[in-house]
Amino acid sequence: MGNDVMGKIVSLCKRRGYVYPSSEIYGGINSCWDYGPLGAELKKNIKESWWESMTYYRDDIEGLDASIIMHPMVWKASGHVDGFTDAMVDCKKCKLRFRMDETSGKLCPECGGELTEARLFNLMFKTHIGAVEEEASTIYLRPETAQGIYVNFQNVLTSSRRKIPFGIAQIGKAFRNEITPKNFIFRMREFEQMEMQYFVKPETAEEWFETWRKERMQWYIDLGIKEDSLRFHKHTKDELPHYASKAYDIQYQFPFGWEEIEGIHNRTDYDLKNHSKFSGKELEYFDDSTGKRFIPHIIEVSAGVDRALLTCLVDAYDEEEDRVVLRLSPKVAPIKVGIFPLVKRDGMPEAAKKIAKELRRHMKVFYDEGGSIGRRYRRQDEVGTPFGITVDAQTITDDTVTLRSRDDMKQVRLKIAELSSYLVCRL
Ligand code: ATP
């Protein structure tokens, strides 16, 4: 798979309503993308799968939905005002701009021209709150969701009567003024994160780090992502972010190379200690079993919704002799079942619509009566719909339909009454 595959995926996304360039009628805006009907559904399903794995299937994690705009001191305390920078260089010849770490030396990777000295560039978007644009009213769009969790640590601890270890999970938008956004939705300036911060006793941090590392890899495997295309990358001392004592990335093998889709960090007591220092508020935990007070250590798992979605699309994309098929896991596929009357007469559309109405109570259904049946199947294969139901003349006499499965195109004959239970347990 090469970059031509990326081109095909980008074009499929636009054509079929997964992802459009943002503000397209005005010529688009670099690095911003809009999710169309199918993209919005896929994104929702991915977020739901993450949210359920964190807050439903376990009983040690609470959810949170914090404000995007926060007190500016948050970003002082977190180190983002002073340290959330990338070094950028410009090519003196072709004028292109690069992140310093994308260039291997003094020369432009595009044209070989000479590069300028590196300048530091803060990635946070600044804006103003209130009517007066002055220094004191400067605020930031959050570049990560994590800080909303740290500043609410005491609130969640008290209101949900938790004991350590426990976690707080959040899904939400984050903004970074990336120097060189590229590779479709891989690097955007506005994106979404799914982050969970797990608060632990300092002496158990290592153990929890290992537990979460495995858990998070398993989540991608459970989404149906090919194991061979997933790997861990351990950060060397030079790569470690300022807040972490240990970090692993989960990487996926995209057509443009192995790249990070999620970061797993041991953040020690860095965050709570700093927020305590800057806010003057006590952020210690009292352990009533030992009578000791301490600042909890934090294991962070930080995934990008958009990168998870791109991973699902790239991993699912397949070309066969006479069809393109997205082999999306039924769990996340936007449409679960297509319903097709074989022909537009003899009571078949009515019978098919009745089945659609019944199944709609359980799943996202697409009804289609136009064109040849082969064409209708292929259109659904291309957007990843795992099942197709065809209503034919026999349906009218014995209440059975054919159910076609996207991946092997095999068909079985089922009773209408059995359809919903058959499908629900396969989603
Ligand atoms: P990169 O090195 O690719 O810039 P990062 O190490 O800065 O990523 P983190 O700060 O660890 O990323 O953010 C956690 C997750 O958020 C990433 O693994 C990724 O999935 C997502 N993410 C970060 N930046 C972006 C972006 N610009 N566009 C889309 N997703 C992003």
Going by their DSSP bridges, the two strands 337-341 and 387-391 should be labelled as parallel
Closest to 19 measured CA to CA, from 40, 36, 1, 44: 36
The ligand 1 atom at the shortest distance from the C-alpha of residue 189 is 27
Which residue among 33, 193, 234, 265 is best mutated to probe the pocket of ligand 1, counting the most ligand atoms within 8 A of its Cβ? 193
Contact between 46 and 332 (Cβ < 8 Å): yes
Q: Which domains does the chain have, with CATH numbers?
A: 37-77+133-315 (3.30.930.10), 335-424 (3.40.50.800)
Strands of the sheet with 61-64, listed across from one edge:
61-64, 166-175, 190-200, 297-304, 257-266, 246-254, 230-234
Give backbone dihedrals phi and psi of 412, rounded to 5 degrees, phi first. -125, 155
CA of 215 to the centre of ligand 1 (A): 19
Per-residue pLDDT of the chain (427 residues; tens, 9 = 90+): 456 999 999 999 999 999 999 999 999 998 899 999 999 999 999 999 999 999 999 999 999 999 999 999 999 999 999 988 888 888 888 988 888 888 877 889 889 899 988 888 899 999 998 877 676 788 999 999 999 999 999 999 999 999 999 999 999 999 999 988 789 999 999 999 999 999 999 999 999 999 999 999 999 999 999 999 999 999 999 888 888 999 999 999 999 999 999 999 999 999 999 999 999 999 999 999 999 999 999 999 999 999 999 999 999 999 999 999 999 999 999 999 999 999 999 999 999 999 999 999 999 999 999 999 999 999 999 999 999 999 999 999 999 999 999 999 999 999 999 999 999 999 9
β pairing state of 285-287 and 85-90: unpaired
Contact of 164 with 183, CB cutoff 8 Å: no
3-state helix, strand and coil shares in percent for the chain, rounded to the nearest 5: 35, 30, 35
Q: CA 146, CA 15: separation in Å to the nearest integer? A: 35
Q: Which residues line ligand 1 (CB under 6 A)?
A: 144, 176, 178, 187-188, 191, 193, 260-263, 302-304, 306-307
Q: Whose CA is nearest to atom 21 of ligand 1?
A: 304
For residue 72, is the peptide bond before it cis, meaning its omega torsion is within 30 degrees of 0? no
Give the residue, out of 265, 307, 311, with the most ligand 1 atoms within 8 A of its beta carbon, to mutate for a pocket test: 307
User: Which atom from ligand 1 is nearest to the alpha carbon of 307?
Assistant: 20
Whole-prediction pTM value?
0.94
DSSP-derived letter for residue 371 is: S
- Give the number of the atom of ligand 1 that is nearest the alpha carbon of residue 181: 27
Query: 186 is written with which tokens?
Result: 């891989």
Distance between CA 313 and CA 12 in Å, rounded? 10
